[in-house]
Structures are given as C-alpha cells and as structure tokens.
Structure 1
Amino acid sequence: MNKRTLAILAAIGATTIYGVNHTIAKEVMPNYVQPLGFIILRVLGAAILFWLISFWGPKEKIDKKDYLRLGLCALLGMGFNMLVFFKGLSLSTPINSAVLITTTPIIVLILSAIVIKERIVGRKVLGIGIGLVGALGLILFGSEIRQDAPNIPLGNFLILMNSVFYGSYLIVAKTLIEKYHPFTFMKWLFTLGILICLPFGYQEFTEIAWSKLPLEAMWRIVFVIIGTTFCTYLFNIFALTQLKASTLSAFVYVQPLIGIGYAIGTGQDRLTTVKIIAACLVLLGVYLASKKPKNKEGIV
C-alpha cells in the first residue's frame, strides 16, 4: 500500500472520528462530566501524549518573537474553541453539532477576506450566503424539547462560534505550522491550553466522581482524549505530507454524514425537517464557497 493511499485512509479515519465524536462526547455530558471539566481532561491528556511523542521529533526551541503568536493560537484553538464547542454540544444535539461544524471553511474564507484581504467574488459570495442561512436556520428554528439538550438555540450559536474561533486559529497559526515541526508546535499549544482552560474548568474538573464513573463513560472519555484529540491531529499531519490541503479539506463534507448516521443509528438523535433543510443549505454553501474557480482573466 503506497503512502498516498495511507494518507487518504488517515484522512478518512480523522473525519470518521470527528463524525462519531459528536454523539460519543455528548453521552458523557452532563451526567458524568460537565463540559468545562471535560475540556481539562482533553487538553491535559493530549498534552501528555504530545510531550511523550515529541521525543521522536526534532529538538526545537520556540523563538521569543513567536511567543505572542503561539499564545494567541492557544487562546483561539485550545481555549475559546474547545470551551464553546463542548458547552454548545452539552446544550444542543449531535446532528446540529455535526452540521454546524462544517461551516468552518466558510468562516475561514470570511476571516481571510477581513484579515489578509483575500478577494471573494461570484460563487464564493453565494456560497457564504447560503451556508450562513442554513446555520442561522438551525440556531433560530432548530429548537426541540429534549432533556439532554436544555437550550438548543444557545448551544447551536456556541457551536457556530467554535467555527469562528477555530477559523481564526487556522489563520493565526499558519506561519508557525510552516516554521516548526508539528510535534513541537502541538506540545506547546496543548501545554498553554491547560493554563488557559484551567480557570474555566477547574471547578467542574474537581467535581468528577471518578469512583462512580461507569465503564461506558470511561471509554468515551478515553476516546475523546486519544481519538478525537491526539489521533486526529496525527492523522491529519500525515495526510498533509501526501495530499494537498485543499484535498484534505474536502473530507469535511463527509463528517456530517457520518455524524448524522451514527447519531440516528445509536438512537441518540433524530432527523427533523429543519435539520434536513439546514444541512442541505450548509453543505451546498460550503461546496460553493470552497470550490476552486477556473482561471479567467488572471483571477486565481
């Protein structure tokens, strides 16, 4: 099996993990672990794993001039991003989460236009509009009555904000990712993430009743730490060595299909008319916004 095939399998593996995570993580919160306490488990566990694996990477030091950018990356990617996602997931449903998370490419496109003045024309503008209509539809009209989803509109809004913070992180982190080895970057990113998330999640972390956690909750926690956090980063890093970034980003279209299928198959969520329409609008919007235009009159 050649490296390109392995890279495609790695990308599929990462997307699959992300897809089922919406349901697996949801089942832990809030009955066993509160969302902010769960974040501490995630960043602490992943930081330990990345420090262990970093011994097989190059010995690098972060330049002093990069401290501020690294701190901002940790704030956006390890702090705000994770905090709003897990809090939003605890308030909303797995299907809503799986749909809204795919707005990230649209958010990145908007932020690129604002921050680095990237030109947005034609099809991309239409895609942004359609995708945001779908996202707003879930936020404004996706309310249901569920004991495990106490505030779906607010939860949907927080999940959408997760895409905003993660998109900002991708833009800010670009130069550091190109400069440092992934192991170096990730171990410091997650270490700073612990310091950022600790004030928010310490109280909920100390409230975890470890002796009362059933096996079902334990394996879900382990899955989120090792699978959703550690393995997905490794899979994506390897995939990027053999695939173009644009090719890898296309796998985002598969995530809601896996997420919705797993949630329905395990009986943890159900489809509604609003969810179906919103999902179609979001996916169509992401497709149009992400589709690479043909070269015409010097426009790339």
Structure 2
Amino acid sequence: MPNALRVHAALFLVSLIYAANYSLSKDVMPHYLSPFGIVTLRIVGATLFFAVAKYFAAPQDKITGRADAIRSILCGICGIGVNQLLFFSGLNLTSPINASLLQTFAPIVVVVASVFLLSEKITLPRALGILVGLIGAALLILSRDVQAAVYPQATRGNIYILLNATVFGIYLVIVTPLMRKYHAFTVLGRSFLVGAFIAVPFGWRDVLAANYGSFPPYIWAEVAYMIICLTILAYLLNNWALKYASPALLGVYIYLQPVLAVLIAVSLGKDQLTWGKAGQAVLIFLGVWLVSRKPKVAGMPQEE
C-alpha cells in the first residue's frame, strides 16, 4: 500500500473511531457506567498500556528539566484528566451531534493559545474566524431544538463540551515541544499518569459500584472499544499520520469527523439533524477554516 494511501487510511480510521464514540457512549452511560466511571477505566487502561509500551520502546528516554516536567504535568491535566472528565460529562447531557460539532472548535483554541503562549501573530482572517466560530458555538450552546425533552440539560452539556475543546486545544499547543524532544510513549506515559491522579478520585467509586454482571455483550464490547480503540489505537494511528500529513490534509479530516458523527448518530437513531444545527455547523466550520489558513509571508509562497 503506498504511503499516501496509508496516511489517508489512518486519518480516516481515527475520524471514524472518534465519530462512532459519540453514539456508542450513549449506550453505556449513565445506565451501566457513569461518565466518571468510563473516564477512570479509560485512563487507567491507557496508563498501563503506555507504561508497558515505553518500557519496551524507549526504556532510557526520560523527561528532564524543571520546565519540561511542569509542561508534562500541564499536559496530563489539560489533555487527559480535565479534558476527559469534561468530555464525558458533557456528552452524557447533550446530543451526539451537538458534542461532535462543538469538538471542532479546538483548532480555534489552538490559534488563540498560540497567540498567548507562542507569541504568534493574529491576522484579520483568523480574528474573523475566531469571531464567526464563537457565534456558531454560542448559537449551538443556547439553542433549544426538537430534542430538548430528551436532553433537558443540553445547555450545560454543551458548555462542558466547549470547555473540553478549549482545554484540549491548549494541550495541543503545550504538548508539541515535548513530542519533538522525547519519544511519544514517554510523553503519553507521563501525561496519562498525571491524568489518572486527577480522574481516579472522581470515578473509582463508580467503577466499583457498577453492576458488571448486568452488562450485555454489546456493552462490554463498547467499553472495550472506548478503552482500546478510542484511547490507544486512535492515538497511535494519529501520531503516526501526523508525521506525514500536510496541514491541509489534517484540515479535511477535522471537518470529516462531525460529518461521520452525524451520519452514525442519525442512522442509529441517537439524534436528529435539523436545519438549525446545520446552520450552526456552517458557522463553526467557516470559523475553523479561516483560523486554519496560514498567513501569507511577503515574498514567499504560501505553504499548503
């Protein structure tokens, strides 16, 4: 298989894994496992996996220096612990389509965070993109659609998802220097370990209290999916693809994930796509597209 085709296959599979999770998680929570219970199982499972993977793949690689140590702790807080607690708490309260659309807000946060943390300049198109994306997100968060009776706390759930996208966007900015300096398993092992210290106190009681004997086979399969595919496989594929994919290609798959999530949610009867949601999606997508455009440098061709 040519390398370009493998990159597309990896990115598509990652998008599909994330997209399916919005609907599959609805089967598991809150009846079988609470949101915090799911997060605890997921993070503990990934922590063990990456600890073993690091032992075999990069046994001598260690994060050194105070600055990198602090950065790795922040990665565990933003990218793993707080991120996952917010995501599953929000998904439990809102619809799959709302959650998938608000997740695409992360690239906008990356640009804003880069301005403050990396001193990047903000251009007029990017500023406009931030504004348009914020309007789309605000309309989606505050809207009351035909499923208001199914998700009476959707507004709170939408806010959690937006906060989740925000902390994840910050994580993407602060983790980049570590990924360039250390082995990926070293960074992920440390990040998930820190995330476990945050998540386990919230969810260990729910994990112990769950009635596992009542889990039908498909629930066991979906729990395994969230631990293995959503946490481990998706990261490994995404990390590999990022080495070869262009920014333009990554942008395509940012838009593909909510499209797949909508198709899966509607086909499984988990959600309904309305004209209002479609309009809000257009605003968010437009905002992401504007902030994702690289600013032109005088005398230099724009990179694609």
Question: Structure 2 length as normaliser, TM-score?
Answer: 0.93
Distance 2:124 2:140 in 1: 25
**1:152 partner amino acid:** A
Following superposition of structure 1 onto structure 2, how do residues 19-58 of structure 1 map, counting pairs within 5 Å?
19-58=19-58
The answer for the alignment partner of 1:17 in structure 2 is: 17
Q: Deviations over 1:131-162 (max 9, x none)?
A: 11111001111453344x34001100110001
**CA offset at residue 297 of structure 1?**
6.5
Q: Unpaired segments of 5 or more residues in structure 2?
A: none
Q: How many angstroms apart in 2 are the aligned matches of 1:116 and 1:19?
A: 31
Structure 1 residue 152 corresponds to structure 2 residue 154: yes
Residue 4 of structure 2 is matched in structure 1 by 4
- Pairwise CA distance, 1:53: 2.6
1:146-185 superposed matches below 5 A: 146-147=149-150, 149-185=151-187
Counterpart CA distance in 2 for 1:180 and 1:244 is: 22
Q: CA deviation at 1:206?
A: 2.0
Aligned 8 A contact 2:123 2:295 in 1: no
Tell me the equivalent position of 2:258.
256
CA distance 1:222–1:146, shift in 2 (3 Å): farther
Shift in CA distance, 295/64, structure 1 to aligned 2, threshold 3 Å: closer
Return the alpha-carbon distance in structure 1 between the equivalents of residues 107 and 135 of structure 2. 15
RMSD: 1.8
SS of the residue 1:253 aligns to: helix
The letter for the 2-side match of 1:37 is G
Distance, in Å, in 2 between the alignment partners of 1:63 and 1:185 is: 11
Asked if the contact 2:73–2:190 (Cα under 8 Å) also holds between the matched residues in 1, the reply is: no
Supply the AA of the counterpart residue of 1:273.
W
AA at the equivalent of 1:205: V
Identity %: 34
Report the CA distance shift for 1:192/1:207 in structure 2 as closer, same or farther (over 3 A). same
Separation of aligned partners in 2, 1:291 and 1:37: 39
8 A contact 1:239–1:248 mirrored in 2: no
Give the equivalent residue in structure 2 for 1:247: 249
**In the alignment, structure 1 residue 210 sits paired with structure 2 residue 212:** yes
The farther-off stretch of 257-266 and 15-24 is 15-24
Residue 85 of structure 2 is aligned to residue 83 of structure 1: yes
- 2: distance between equivalents of 1:244 and 1:50? 27
User: Secondary structure, in 3 states, of the residue corresponding to 1:292?
Assistant: coil
Aligned 8 A contact 1:57 1:184 in 2: no
1:138 & 1:187 partners in 2: Cα distance? 35
Secondary structure of the 2:243 match is helix
The CA distance in 1 between the partners of 2:209 and 2:168, in whole Å, is: 28
- Distance apart, 1:299 and its partner CA: 10
After TM superposition, where is structure 1 displaced by more than 4 Å over at least 4 residues in a row?
Answer: 297-300
Query: Is 1:142–1:275's contact at 8 Å kept on the other side of the alignment?
Result: no
Name the TM-score, length of structure 1 as normaliser: 0.94
**Which residue of structure 1 aligns with residue 117 of structure 2?**
115
The one-letter code matched in structure 2 to 1:145 is A
Separation (CA, whole Å) in 2 of partners of 1:45 and 1:249: 30
Structure 1: runs of 5 or more not aligned: none
Task: Go from structure 1 to structure 2 and tell me whether the alpha carbon gap of 1:245 and 1:231 turns closer, same or farther (over 3 Å shift).
Answer: farther
Q: Partners of 2:255 and 2:115 in 1: how far apart?
A: 22
Q: What amino acid is the match of 2:148?
A: I
Question: How far off is 1:266 after superposition?
Answer: 0.7
1:137 touches 1:274 (CA, 8 Å); kept in 2? no
Tell whether the 8 Å contact from 1:50 to 1:183 is kept in structure 2 after alignment: yes
Which deviates further from its counterpart, 109-118 or 128-137? 109-118
